[in-house]
Structure 1
Amino acid sequence: MAAFVAKAFAYLVIGLRFPLLLAWAAAAVVAVLLLPPLSSSGGLNNLIPAGSPALRADASAARLFGYPLEAGVAIVQRAPHGLPPSVVDKTGRAAVSYDRHASIPGLVAVIPVPNGAGIPRSISVSPLTAAGLLGSVRGKTSTIVTYLEFSDTTTLQQQVTAAGTYARRLTDVTGVTGAVAAQYEQGQIIDRDLPWVELFTVLAIALIVGVRFRSLLAPLAALACAGTAYLVAVRVVAWGAARTGISLPQEAEPVLVVLLLGVTTDYCVFFLAGMRSRLAEGADQLQAVRDATAESAPIVFTAGLIVAAGTGALLVARGGLLRAFGPGLAATVLVSMVVSLTLMPALLGVLSRFMFRHVAPARLPGPGSPIARFATSKPVALLVIAACVAGLGAAASATGRLGLGSPLIGEMPSSSNVAEASAAASAGFAPGVLAPTEVLIIGPGVGSQVAADRRFGDFLRRQPGVASVVGPSVLTGSVVPASASNPMVAKDGSAIRFALIYDSDPLNATAIGQVRVLTSRLPALGQAAGLNGVSYQVGGQTALTGDAINATASDLWRVGLAIVGVTLLLLLLFLRALLAPVYLLAASLLAVLGTLGLTVLICEAVFGSPDMVYFVPFAAGVLLVSLGSDYNVFVVGRIWEEARSRPARDAVAVAAPRASRAITTAGIALAASFGLLAMIPLGQFRQMAIIMAVGVLLDTVVVRSLLVPSLVALTGRAGMWPGHQRVKAGPRPEPELSDASR
């Protein structure tokens, strides 16, 4: 029945090849004219889970103090040998007069932080301004970091523009930096470099497909499908995101683009390989296209469903990050599948007479070459399986050193203005100055417990990684004039807060771990300091990022079970076997773990750290499991086809080498697509490029070419039960392409 449906589909598509070409051209035009272009709805920081304790802390700080100490945008002034007193005085006066200027919308507080003698105390301080937050440090002022706090409704662009406007009032400005500024500049870099990634991906695909099939038209047909899929898919994803209200992170667009180009090329390669094989067997051009379509369409359909279902399973996640990635990836793959199933056969039908020239006739190999038969003997298969499992397991052991963070500024190229200003601020203070951790202590009368507050601040200074602490006692009298409110004490005295500056990048794995430990210790520290009847909250960029990582990690089992369940079900339905889908999925999961371990080793060698941006391993893992099952379908589908007329061992010996050639081509094209993400000079894309390129190549060269054929050979007919138990009478030796026709 399935074979009949596949043949009927092939005849229908080839018969309607000219209307299909016109239909897809019209669909692309309509998508471009009527649907919105793909654009981000914000960065990863907009995907903090709704129940985040750090979000609650920020809300409490806004309610009790007027604003949280998030420091998303900061202006850095630095002179290594000391800023002139006139510059320091001008900075202080600008800070206390900011609220008289309506030209900076959304600005709620200005907090200049000098590293020396500080802003002169004679200046009147606005109630919402802490002039000289660290002014108790005596000595020459070489660096001033001015935090700009904005309302929640202010966009990234508005904040960065406002910071530029405010910076023009100051002198000796190194630049504007901070997490928000980095996030905005990352979006600018992505918009600038993504077209180059697209161009070089197209050139790479054209080269790989053209060399593999020795045809000028083959890469053009594949790129026509990829281009059509791109025009339609990115706008469908944008339309869907707008309709559902799902926030699309700016990091998603490059991943979607290279996935779309790579997956569409993969599916087109399957059709091209099938057509060339049928031509080599002696079929005429149009019949070769029909046969290739009937043979490849079920595999492409199943493979596309597996990848789409696997990525779509991310919707079961509770965290915003995975939920944001899932629908876009699934929609992208579905559009790629539909385009490949219909447009590629139509193009092959129209261009069938010119697609391949001088295809050499195939030769009949019988039950497979002696080398192939030796490789599929059970003792050899068992040795290959043991070697592959041992190698992948050894590579996977390195995952224990992986650290997760989101160092927005650390991901930037060192030549960017944000990175340069950050380096200047770190030189004057400590790396954590651009994202202080805010510790709130809430309780009746806590603001009047001066001695206990002072002891608590001393305890905080002794915590791992803390370089400096600013609390109520630091600003009492010595820095903030008596006429001003202390910005570290709530007006009604019901809360106080401390700003902690860490000695490492505040958004890397080290600082996030230190803040997590500190949070668990706060009740004990407060009790030791003599603070009773109070509660504690921790806010700031470090705590927010930690909550996002925790939410993503907590979704791991839920999402993993959903992906495994959906993938396993589709493999069971396609292969009509019980054992094979289990060991195939296990092989894919082992390959993902091995890939992650190898990526950690590469990152240590190249970047000097095993840490990765926290969304990279999760998103890459989902893609690799789904794409690995995609290739499983192609390899095992070919073996199952041969097993209809051959013993299992002969089917593996004949089908596996032929399928591996097509998969190698597809894998190299997909690895090149993802590898070119490294052209975007941001840490997360270089990490994604490494992990996806390594994963696809490892899957292609080791898992699909060695491990999977060995598993099939070892399990034999038992692995095919119950769908493929008997060999039909009259085995049909299939022709194999000669060396000249490959």
Structure 2
Amino acid sequence: MKTVDWSPKRWLRIALPAILILIWFAAAGIGGPTFGKISDVSTNDQASFLPANAESTVVLDWQARFVDTQAIPAVVLLTSEQPLTQAQLGEISALSQKMGAVTGVQQPEPPATTTIAGPIPSADKLAVEFLVPITGTEEINTVVGDLRQVLKDSAPAGLTVYVTGPAGLTADLVSAFAGIDGVLLLVALLAVFVILLVVYRSVVLPILVLFTSVVALSASILVIYYLASWDWIKLSGQSQGILSILVIGAATDYSLLLVARFREALHQVQSKWAALGRAMRGAWEPILASGSTVILAMLCLLFSDLNSNRSLGPIAAIGIFFSLLAALTCLPALLVVFGRVAFWPFRPKVEHAHAHKHAALSKSPLTEATMHDVDLGLAGIGGLWRRVGLLIARKPRVTWVVTLVLLLAASTGVLQLQANGVSQTEVILGQSNAVDGQKALAKHFDGGSGSPVVIIVDENKQAQVLAAVTGTAGIADASFYTGNGRPDAAAQPVVKDGRVLLNATLKDQADSDAAEQVVVDLRDHLPAVDSGVLVGGVSAIALDTNVTAQRDLVKIVPLVLVVITIVLMLLLRSIVAPLLLIGSVVLSYAATMGISALVFNHVFGFPGADATVPLFGFVFLVALGVDYNIFLMTRVREESLLMGTHAGVLRALGKTGGVITSAGVVLAATFAALGVIPLLFLAQLAFIVAFGVLLDTVIVRSLLVPAVTYDVGNHVWWPSKLSKRGPTGTQRNADAPERVGIPIP
């Protein structure tokens, strides 16, 4: 057949790549410095990610009317192994003035002299606590750090000092996210570089691919920084870390598909421009379809009720968009500049077309039609992927049935998944003064000290509500807000718009399951006393977050599946194939979550999982898992148009096996890098996505999908014309496009 290869004029060959590379250099130059500023527009306040109609959110609005401040309480705890003496208590009392002088601690309004409540001795005389309001005008981790330093320098000898409570826990959470800008990015890039070095045995190519990933990340962070600074989106340390990993992984995946096509074309033609043209013709559609699928899947999060989920949608979509754009513009420009040098020292050489024959195909008897498919589909394919192809050609049904049974068995582990949320003290996996302080606090005081349940009550029902609250199991004591730093039984409650504010101290830690159950009990019983009562506070925020996250899972999962199915139908011009692919990725997700549950419970010993883990795991695994199926099935369709479905499956598997597996390993390694941040949510997400991607690329995409497609045959393309072709593909379909420059066997 006639080969048509395009080569631009000399001036365009020089100008076009240069302009594209300069544009991306500029994006990196402007966006790169933004890495250091992104934390300025990031927040880790759990309350800010609640839905606007959550009861705890409404309580926050009411609370702001009573207390004209955004102060976050810190609980300062000093403990001793021996009962505290009067002399020690005197020294401890003097700490109040020193803590009040720390920048960021709320200052009193005259005639009050301090906003700090305490010292409050424990009943066992082994501990003393202060309640220190932090205004939030300074970086909270800085204020808490200064408090800890003042206490370390000034506290009586022999005492152990903690700064805990909501402010202390938030500060340690912020400190845990501090690794995102540096260590996380370095680990991810290093992992990608090493993998590419091993796979391609080239020093130049990994640098080109990583440059593409880095400029994509720089451009996306630049855009996200300004959107967050304009308050158009909410950026958290959690979404910031996911963004970096997602962009590097996705950009590398798309780049590897183009690189594989480019190297394949360099074996066919001498001109690097002709090779790039062939590579782009073969790669742009699956890359664009893959990127679009992930973008649409991420944007489905906009329908989430939980603001933290909703905010991640556009952030991730922006990252994928720039990954897609860089892979289709920056990398092609770099490849055409470097040409074969990109693969140095193993430069691709032009090969003459020739048939590869293998004498012994199998010990098992093969039909004449199967022999034809193997000869045609596996011509020139050797090594592992030839053996996999032969397995599928010999026993397609046995292959997919056995694989299906194994995946279903793995899926049963999902029954052990404990994704009902965990306490904030269990979120931080590394050393934390605040976490240790919460444990010590529970030994000497009521666990909910400093983090009360906040109840908004009708002023005419205050006595009845107070009686109902104090009579509720799990409540240690309760008092109305009187405008003072400490409860004053003689003072009258502050009234705002006919409402009063009641603070109820919990017996258990505010972030425990027991505390959340108290909130549930109060919400169930108090409306009988006051129909307009509202129950909020730290425990209520955690409860509402978990409930909303579980509701989002039920809403977002079907939406993502519908969107991806429609994209696949448009791409593959089929109904059957997309349904098979969606079924495979859902099964892969279920198996991944089943194995993850077993590992979390019995290997890592995690206390449970964040309620958002199943949703994030689903969105990432389904969207990214479909990527690899798109890479495979678009090539299957391309080859099927030329040689029939059976041979096309074997050919596509042999040609894409190495590159898709490499892409999967790279993506798994980048997500595994999230494990360097000592936070339970990110550690679990890192394992789920890394394991799930490997399962998808090694088992699902290599065995299940090809075997099912081979077994179903041409019917997989129904209702397109391709489904009506002969079983061996000996007749050329009328709608089959010319594959420019590639001879048909």
- Give the TM-score, by structure 2 length: 0.81
Q: Is the 8 A contact 1:37 1:235 kept in 2?
A: no
1:404 to 412, 420, 442: 420
Distance in 2 (alpha carbons) for counterparts of 1:414 and 1:434? 23
Distance in 2 (alpha carbons) for counterparts of 1:577 and 1:689? 34
Q: In the alignment, does 2:652 pair up with 1:659?
A: no
Q: In the alignment, does 2:610 pair up with 1:606?
A: no
Q: In the alignment, does 2:236 pair up with 1:249?
A: yes
Corresponding residue of 2:214: 227
Structure 1 residue 484: Cα displacement = 7.2
The farther-off stretch of 532-541 and 210-219 is 532-541
The farther-off stretch of 692-701 and 99-108 is 99-108
Distance in 2 (alpha carbons) for counterparts of 1:484 and 1:542? 21
Q: In the alignment, does 2:94 pair up with 1:78?
A: no
Q: 5 Å matches for 1:104-119?
A: 106-107=106-107
Q: In the alignment, does 2:144 pair up with 1:160?
A: yes
Corresponding residue of 1:387: 402
Corresponding residue of 2:59: 57
Corresponding residue of 2:376: 367
Question: SS of 2:719's equivalent?
Answer: coil
Corresponding residue of 1:327: 314
Q: Is the 8 A contact 2:576 2:715 kept in 1?
A: yes
Corresponding residue of 1:121: none
Distance in 2 (alpha carbons) for counterparts of 1:507 and 1:684? 16
The farther-off stretch of 355-364 and 650-659 is 355-364
- CA distances 1:35-89 after superposition (whole Å, capped 9, x unpaired): 9943342115121222221233344455568899x97421111112222323434
Structure 1 residue 27: Cα displacement = 3.1
Q: Name the amino acid aligned to 1:519.
A: L
Q: In the alignment, does 2:327 pair up with 1:340?
A: yes
Distance in 1 (alpha carbons) for counterparts of 2:55 and 2:45? 17
Corresponding residue of 1:276: 263
Corresponding residue of 1:179: 166
Q: Name the amino acid aligned to 1:367.
A: L
Corresponding residue of 1:119: none
Q: Is the 8 A contact 2:141 2:174 kept in 1?
A: no
Change (3 A) 1:32 1:693: closer
Corresponding residue of 1:552: 549
Distance in 1 (alpha carbons) for counterparts of 2:116 and 2:31? 50
- CA distances 1:322-342 after superposition (whole Å, capped 9, x unpaired): 111011100101101111111
Task: Provide the aligned C-alpha RMSD in A.
Answer: 4.1
Corresponding residue of 1:490: 493
Distance in 2 (alpha carbons) for counterparts of 1:487 and 1:59? 27
The farther-off stretch of 592-601 and 171-180 is 171-180
Distance in 2 (alpha carbons) for counterparts of 1:407 and 1:90? 34
Q: In the alignment, does 2:89 pair up with 1:88?
A: yes
Question: SS of 2:129's equivalent?
Answer: strand
Q: Name the amino acid aligned to 1:420.
A: D
User: Higher relative CO (CA 8 A, sep ≥ 6), structure 1 or 2?
Assistant: 1
Structure 1 residue 635: Cα displacement = 0.6
Distance in 2 (alpha carbons) for counterparts of 1:501 and 1:9? 74
Q: Name the amino acid aligned to 1:490.
A: P
Distance in 2 (alpha carbons) for counterparts of 1:487 and 1:313? 54
Q: 5 Å matches for 1:17-56?
A: 17-32=17-32, 37-39=37-39, 40-45=41-46, 46-56=48-58
Corresponding residue of 2:130: 146
Change (3 A) 1:469 1:265: same
Q: Is the 8 A contact 2:17 2:336 kept in 1?
A: yes
1:265 to 249, 252, 256: 252
Distance in 1 (alpha carbons) for counterparts of 2:393 and 2:491? 75
- Give the TM-score, by structure 1 length: 0.82
2:340 to 350, 353, 356: 353
The farther-off stretch of 276-285 and 79-88 is 276-285
Q: 5 Å matches for 1:439-454?
A: 439=455, 442-444=458-460, 446-447=462-463, 453=466
Q: In the alignment, does 2:196 pair up with 1:189?
A: no
Corresponding residue of 1:418: 434
Change (3 A) 1:269 1:395: same
Distance in 2 (alpha carbons) for counterparts of 1:499 and 1:67? 20
Structure 1 residue 200: Cα displacement = 2.3
Q: In the alignment, does 2:566 pair up with 1:590?
A: no
Structure 1 residue 312: Cα displacement = 1.8
Distance in 2 (alpha carbons) for counterparts of 1:676 and 1:445? 54
The farther-off stretch of 400-409 and 268-277 is 400-409
Q: Is the 8 A contact 1:268 1:340 kept in 2?
A: yes
Q: Is the 8 A contact 2:574 2:716 kept in 1?
A: yes
Unmatched runs of 5 consecutive residues or more in structure 2? 358-374, 379-385, 740-745
Q: In the alignment, does 2:245 pair up with 1:238?
A: no
Distance in 1 (alpha carbons) for counterparts of 2:413 and 2:491? 44
Change (3 A) 1:98 1:519: farther
Corresponding residue of 1:460: 472
Corresponding residue of 1:118: none
The farther-off stretch of 485-494 and 644-653 is 485-494
Change (3 A) 1:309 1:78: same
Structure 1 residue 667: Cα displacement = 0.4
Distance in 2 (alpha carbons) for counterparts of 1:233 and 1:103? 35
- CA distances 1:147-180 after superposition (whole Å, capped 9, x unpaired): 2235587763575367559857765461212233
Question: SS of 1:497's equivalent?
Answer: strand
Corresponding residue of 2:743: none
The farther-off stretch of 353-362 and 31-40 is 31-40
Q: Is the 8 A contact 1:405 1:512 kept in 2?
A: no
Q: Is the 8 A contact 1:712 1:719 kept in 2?
A: yes
Question: SS of 1:460's equivalent?
Answer: coil
Distance in 1 (alpha carbons) for counterparts of 2:614 and 2:587? 14
Question: SS of 1:388's equivalent?
Answer: helix
Corresponding residue of 1:650: 647
Change (3 A) 1:60 1:355: closer
Corresponding residue of 1:679: 676
Q: Is the 8 A contact 2:193 2:206 kept in 1?
A: yes
- CA distances 1:405-437 after superposition (whole Å, capped 9, x unpaired): 253332224533323333332333465446443
Change (3 A) 1:32 1:214: closer
Structure 1 residue 199: Cα displacement = 1.7
Q: Name the amino acid aligned to 1:376.
A: I
Q: Percent identity?
A: 23
Q: 5 Å matches for 1:500-649?
A: 500-503=505-508, 506-507=510-511, 510-511=513-514, 514-515=517-518, 517-523=520-526, 532=529, 536-609=533-606, 611-649=608-646
- CA distances 1:640-694 after superposition (whole Å, capped 9, x unpaired): 1110112211111221233222111000001000101111222222112111111
Q: Name the amino acid aligned to 2:27.
A: A
Q: Name the amino acid aligned to 2:321.
A: L
Change (3 A) 1:384 1:148: farther
Corresponding residue of 1:499: 504
